[in-house]
Structure 1
Amino acid sequence: MAGSNRWFVDRCRTVHSSSGRVGPCAQFCERWTRFVASRHRASFQVFHRQTRGGAIHTIGGRSGFIPGRSRRIAGRSCDRDRCQDVCVIRRCNPPDSGRGASSEMLRSVLESLLSSLKSGARAILEQPLAFLAIHGLNRVVFAAGRVKRQSGIGHRGDRRQGGRVLIVAPPGGGNIGDQALVESAVWNASGPVTLVVRSVNDFQIPDWLNPLDVDVVPLPELIYGLGAGHMRDVFELGTHAHGMSRVMLVGADIMDGNYNLVASLNRWSVTGLFGRASVPAAVLGFSWSDRARPSCVTAARTVNKHADLWLRDPVSLSRMVSAGVADGAGLCADIVFAHPAPDLAASYRTLPAEIRDFVTAEVEFVVLNMSGLVGSDADLIGHYVRVVERLRSAGISIILLPHVVRATKSDNVYLRDLAARFDDPGIILVNDLLTPSQVYEVCRGGLMVLTGRMHLAVLASLSGTPSSTLSTQGKVAGLYEHLRSPDGAIEVDSDVSRIFFERLEKVVDQTGGVSPELRRHLKELALKAFILPPFRSDTSEPVHSVHERAS
């Protein structure tokens, strides 16, 4: 590949929308430029050329010297009224390179192609009919699994059936909020539980749940797949359907398709499978975005005919009704408000020694959490630094508490960076994930909580400690309507530090706390999602609407 003035050409067609949005062609230019800049000190020319009538006409270009990876040359898009363009990149004076560079180039091209394929697949899955196609195939496979179980073919004799409650868990795997949701669901299920998870390592069953007979069943592709593995797990689920007294799917914030569209569609489908089989089914305590994916809206309308939908805040309920789902939707509170942490023995809330000594000292402290979803925002980091500086100048200690620790988007990465800015014994960084009951115990002694994770705010509220939560997915406004503190929801792009201290002043003045009466009310509201509704076996729909049963 040696020699000067050698051309590397990739042609990627793109159709620009009416908004003139830059398409895959310019995206590829950026990927290619970043790749070469990371390997060579070289000059580039990036051209976008318009194809018209078989001829190529240059419509823009740019060149520059790139030292390392510091500068980024983005491709220029063609005029929005032109429909096709060709991306051409010319490298001047390329150095000698071997197979390693060629393989890197190929990998970069394949990554770009894979990204385009994923975008196309997502666009297809967002279509309203996508859910009906997925659900129709799942119904056939699920029915085959039920037939196998009823006929006894391949039946495992030690499988416990009859009168069990099947709970479909959220993702888990390093998320304290998901762990708290599962613990609350199992505790309030009123019967032996079959817990369907992606992996047996995603959740820990605490000792205080052992007497309740929890059977953990890993089905790794049931929720997160669409291929042969998914079909296998749907079939296996059908073999577990016989004798189930009810099915509860933990909804949380994963039903509207904004996190993982495939997972949302499969969750809706699983709920509908049992509802059509005359097994009482419900989606417990979930949020609904005003930007819900069209296929998920179709899913909610379809499954609504066969299952109960429990929205966990008034804002989400109004959005669901606006989406055309009214009769089957009811209002509850987040099911973590029904978590038994306040009533557990103190031994289950025991903290690690360092944290215990910190919270039992006669000092005021605030709990700070920075979500891995937004922790890289430079402006937000600046707000957190100002919060820490002002709290410490007032003599208030700080606990930096991670809520999600995973391979990606992990809270502790950004909390470590924040802690490294201060050499102060009044600031303690918690490196490991605590249990939900331990988080409750930490929050119980705090003055206030500032968090980027909603369920940390719920656990704080359960302990009586007020909180402020950064709004990243539009889901926390409804929580603070429940808490009667609308100023607790803080938009990420707002003046976070100022709004936080305004709320802290109310707390100090004892006008911003969470009263015992409000906590009891929210617990009662959360428990409504666990009430078994009347159900007729001769019809796929409940006798009454959820609104009537919840009143």
Structure 2
Amino acid sequence: MDASRGQAAGRRRFHIRHPARLHFRRGLSSASGADRAERGPVRHRARHGQNHFPKGKQMRKLIKKILPAPLRQRAVKYIERRRRDIAFRQLFDDLQALKAGMKPAAAGDRLSRLLIVAGDPIRLFGSLGDDAMITATLQHARASNPDVEIDILVDGMDYADSAYQRGFVPVDIFGKPDFIKALAQQFATRQYDSVVVVGADVMDGYYHPLVSAKLLASADLAAAAGIKNVILGFSFNETPHAPLAMFYRSLHPECALKVRDTISLERLQTFAKTNAALVSDSAFSLVPSEPDEGTRSWIARKRAEGYRVMGFNLHPMLFKNADHAQTEAVIRHAAEALQFAVDARPVCWLLIPHDYRDNVGDQAYLKAIAERVPASRTDRVRYLDGKWSAPVLKGVAGQLDGLVSGRMHLAIAALGKGVPAICIAYQGKFEGLYQHFGLSAADLLSPSSFLTQDGIKSALIEFIDQSDEIRENVGKKLPEILAMSKRNFQLFETFPARASVLS
């Protein structure tokens, strides 16, 4: 056997599938969309592997028996990817089939019922960026009608209490296998006047392609049903999930896409032609709340003592796959840099978490940094304890003299109040924010700066020294940016306002 034939034989051996699996693939390719729609329960079982090949644990046991160790992980990943691909394609087919048979209802002239589709349908508000965008939506909706009923799509009820506490009614259909059908039924039952999808940074498939597809489908189906809709300003990275293009290309013409920076808009238009419009982030429109008394008094006292009060944020998502030694180095270098700045300039630091989720939240890093500060400097480096809402943290950010942030929406909270900010960049979404304010992307901090002994020290000093100039530049651009943010909520302006809660 020659080399090429041997390689081909190896590939054939790796890709052999159960006969029922091959039959399932032929069934998908030959059946019409209508046929597949009629096979709802069967399609559901097939998609989740209930009929045609073993379930996850059974498959892993089978693979462990028949494959050598080096191939096991590859085989499991392949099977998981194939299942995701099948679910992805089925979602698209279900959406197109349902859209084709829909007749749009006449739009109402009053905002009575609103559906919000969150970017994180499980935790909803764990990310304070999501909190900011959802709360801004709530504020603008209630400016049109203080009594508007607001539902929010969720995937499971584990965090439903947080929705109820804010006046939302959770609708647990996001994780359903027949999501498109369930959503259409929800539209028919509740007769929504508008649907708002929180686009954020999850519209390019970087995190979860199927979630991105469901977010697009939610607005698309709403448009087909004649419901006013918008996908709030989102960013789009340079390596989107390729199969998402078919969802973008087939969007209903009345589906309103808002993209929050020109760089993202250019990337999206290269990826798929759409009618997307440029805005700034919807969180710029968030109305802030007063900070807690302890934080307010500390800021006022330090400023009275002649210090500038700067904010600081750092989080583990900046350092993906970091081992224990690297994590320790990042925390140590950050603490040393803050102490260096305290010794070199009359500044104080407020360490501000902007994400309270387990594993990816900010508290662990920031608490560890605060604990490394010498006792002689603890009154000049303070950790913001507790869990605060996005409006409260925007109120805190608005009282600062500057901010160093690894969270984009914390930076937006500061910039939206005219406070200078420098960002630690990740996932390709900060460049567009900087461009809005005429700031140079070259001034973005790299996470790698925290891996060296002196990487961050000079950057902090430079930012402190230039903060007045940055504040002036931000102030010049701010009115335009705030006006662009309001465009996210133009759909609410089509309803007559009964009262205003915005200021």
TM-score (ref. length: structure 2): 0.70
- Give the Cα–Cα distance (whole angstroms) in 1 for the partners of residues 64 and 479 of structure 2: 57
Question: CA-to-partner distance for each residue in 1:283-331, whole Å, 9 max, x for gaps?
Answer: 11001111010122222222263411110011101111212324x1110
- Give the Cα–Cα distance (whole angstroms) in 1 for the partners of residues 330 and 431 of structure 2: 19
Matches within 5 A, 1:485-500: 485-487=439-441, 488-494=443-449, 495-500=455-460
- Give the Cα–Cα distance (whole angstroms) in 2 for the partners of residues 255 and 530 of structure 1: 19
DSSP-derived class of the 1:218 partner: strand
**Number of the residue aligned with 1:407:** 358
**Number of the residue aligned with 1:275:** 223
- Give the Cα–Cα distance (whole angstroms) in 1 for the partners of residues 74 and 160 of structure 2: 28
DSSP-derived class of the 1:531 partner: helix
Bigger helix share: 2
Alignment match of 2:93 (pick from 119, 136, 143): 136
- Give the Cα–Cα distance (whole angstroms) in 2 for the partners of residues 123 and 131 of structure 1: 10
- Give the Cα–Cα distance (whole angstroms) in 2 for the partners of residues 517 and 318 of structure 1: 25
Alignment match of 2:292 (pick from 332, 345, 351): 351
Question: CA-to-partner distance for each residue in 1:379-405, whole Å, 9 max, x for gaps?
Answer: 644542342122221242111111111
Deviation at 1:352, TM superposition (A): 4.7
Alignment match of 1:475 (pick from 411, 426, 429): 429
- Give the Cα–Cα distance (whole angstroms) in 1 for the partners of residues 164 and 492 of structure 2: 29
Alignment match of 1:504 (pick from 461, 464, 478): 464
Deviation at 1:143, TM superposition (A): 9.8
- Give the Cα–Cα distance (whole angstroms) in 1 for the partners of residues 75 and 162 of structure 2: 38
1:449 aligns with 2:398: no
Deviation at 1:460, TM superposition (A): 0.8
Counterpart of 1:254, as a letter, is: V
- Give the Cα–Cα distance (whole angstroms) in 2 for the partners of residues 460 and 202 of structure 1: 30
**Number of the residue aligned with 1:521:** 480
DSSP-derived class of the 1:385 partner: helix
Q: Does structure 1 conserve the Cα–Cα contact (< 8 Å) formed by 2:153 and 2:171? A: yes
1:290 aligns with 2:244: no
Q: CA RMSD in A?
A: 4.1
- Give the Cα–Cα distance (whole angstroms) in 1 for the partners of residues 82 and 425 of structure 2: 26
Question: CA-to-partner distance for each residue in 1:253-301, whole Å, 9 max, x for gaps?
Answer: 0111101112111111111111112223221100111101012222222
Deviation at 1:337, TM superposition (A): 0.8
Q: Does structure 1 conserve the Cα–Cα contact (< 8 Å) formed by 2:103 and 2:225? A: no
1:310 aligns with 2:258: yes
**Number of the residue aligned with 2:159:** 201
- Give the Cα–Cα distance (whole angstroms) in 1 for the partners of residues 140 and 203 of structure 2: 21
Counterpart of 1:473, as a letter, is: Q
**Number of the residue aligned with 1:218:** 171
Alignment match of 1:530 (pick from 486, 489, 495): 489
DSSP-derived class of the 2:445 partner: strand
Matches within 5 A, 1:63-462: 117-118=76-77, 120-122=79-81, 125=84, 131=88, 133-138=90-95, 163-171=112-120, 172-189=124-141, 190-191=144-145, 192-198=148-154, 199=157, 201=159, 204=162, 215-219=168-172, 221-222=173-174, 225=175, 227=177, 230=179, 233-234=182-183, 236-240=185-189, 242=191, 244-303=192-251, 305-326=253-274, 328-341=275-288, 348-353=289-294, 355-361=295-301, 362=303, 363-374=307-318, 376=322, 377-378=326-327, 380-381=330-331, 383-393=333-343, 394-423=345-374, 424-425=377-378, 426-462=380-416
CA 1:290 to 1:533, structure 2 compared with 1: closer, same or farther past 3 Å? farther
- Give the Cα–Cα distance (whole angstroms) in 2 for the partners of residues 179 and 533 of structure 1: 19
**Number of the residue aligned with 1:71:** none
CA 1:368 to 1:53, structure 2 compared with 1: closer, same or farther past 3 Å? closer
DSSP-derived class of the 1:258 partner: coil
CA 1:232 to 1:83, structure 2 compared with 1: closer, same or farther past 3 Å? closer
DSSP-derived class of the 1:184 partner: helix
- Give the Cα–Cα distance (whole angstroms) in 1 for the partners of residues 361 and 431 of structure 2: 23
Q: If you compute each CA radius of gyration, which structure gives the higher value, 1 or 2?
A: 1
Counterpart of 2:279, as a letter, is: C
DSSP-derived class of the 2:240 partner: coil
Question: CA-to-partner distance for each residue in 1:364-391, whole Å, 9 max, x for gaps?
Answer: 2211111231255546445423421222
**Number of the residue aligned with 1:15:** none
Bigger strand share: 1
Deviation at 1:241, TM superposition (A): 5.3
Q: Relative to structure 2, which stretch is displaced further, 437-446 or 467-476?
A: 437-446
Unaligned runs of 5+ in 2: 15-59, 450-454, 495-503
TM-score (ref. length: structure 1): 0.65
Q: Relative to structure 2, which stretch is displaced further, 261-270 or 386-395?
A: 386-395
Q: Does structure 1 conserve the Cα–Cα contact (< 8 Å) formed by 2:205 and 2:241? A: yes
CA 1:391 to 1:282, structure 2 compared with 1: closer, same or farther past 3 Å? same
Q: Identity over the aligned pairs, expressed in percent?
A: 19
User: Aligned residues, how many?
Assistant: 411
CA 1:215 to 1:396, structure 2 compared with 1: closer, same or farther past 3 Å? closer
Q: Does structure 1 conserve the Cα–Cα contact (< 8 Å) formed by 2:351 and 2:366? A: yes
CA 1:401 to 1:206, structure 2 compared with 1: closer, same or farther past 3 Å? farther
Q: Relative to structure 2, which stretch is displaced further, 365-374 or 117-126?
A: 117-126
